[in-house]
Copies of this chain bind each other. A is one copy, B any other.
Amino acid sequence: MQEKRPEATAETEAYPRPLVTVDVVILGLREGELQVLLMKRAAAPFKGRWALPGGYIHPQEDADIEASARRILAEKTAIVTPYLEQLQAFGDQRRDPRGWTATFAYFALVAPEQLEPKHGANAAAVSWWTVQPQDRPTLAFDHAAIVDCAVARLRSKVEYTSLPVHLLPEKFTLPDLQRVYEQILGRKIDKSAFRKRMAEADFVEPVEGERRLASNRPAQLYRVKRGLKTIFFDRTI
């Protein structure tokens, strides 16, 4: 089969083709805070700096950009992500010392079961870091801005969607879920109001016969109803 690729014409080749990559902001809850998975760059530019997992589009393998993002995620971290969303494209002449480049940035939410990165040859080069700008290392390229953008998007959507369930294991309790909302939003939520909201959104169901241990009343376990995607609440949390 003949390889099919964009043809070179006068129009398409009048200007150099910018270098385009795909980068993924992988967010998870570790140690009770929001963290981002970073990799230490093995090559120039920014060799040795921490950066987002990223790579090039493989036109032969990747059906679309999202497929590229999923492949990169799998290759670099072995994470099978339950939630992946296109964040934004970033492209200008300053972000990469090699010249004008652009990246399709995605953001992924991962559950605790999947939190530990792939153990392989370069396992030491993969690590979780807090998303707090003052407590994380200096990032390569414009990746600091991309991470901040992802966190802002998450915070914004948490106000009116069910996104936080993707940061929890398959089975979770309502107090668990409320704590995630409170953690990301940075404020307390009234228990009664929170449970009313979850009940009317009607996207979780109790799991029979299971509970959890501590020296107090156990909480009912829930899971997301099958086949349900992200729920948009009709008002703010």
Contact = CB atoms under 8 A, between A and B. Distances in A.
A19 to B, nearest CB: 4
Contacts of A20: 17-18, 20, 102
A100 B57 contact: yes
A57 B91 contact: yes
A12 interface: yes
A16 B11 contact: no
Interface in A42-65: 43, 56-60, 62-65
A59 B89 CA distance: 16
A4 B91 contact: no
Contacts of A235: 235-236
B63 A6 contact: no
Contacts of A57: 15, 18, 91, 100, 102
A6 to B, nearest CB: 4
A196 interface: no
A11 B98 CA distance: 13
A6 B56 contact: no
A88 interface: yes
B58 A96 contact: no
Interface residues of A, number: 40
Interface string A203-237: 00000000000000000000000000000001110
A5 B16 contact: yes
Interface string A89-133: 111110010111110100000000000000000000000000000
Interface string A1-33: 000111100011011111110000000000000
A93 B59 contact: yes
A59 B4 contact: no
A23 B234 CA distance: 32
Interface of A: 4-7, 11-12, 14-20, 43, 56-60, 62-65, 86, 88-93, 96, 98-102, 104, 234-236
Given A16-B59, A62-B93, A63-B93, 16 more contacts: A5-B99, A6-B16, A6-B19, A6-B100, A7-B98, A11-B43, A12-B56, A15-B60, A18-B20, A18-B57, A59-B93, A65-B89, A65-B90, A65-B92, A234-B236, A235-B236
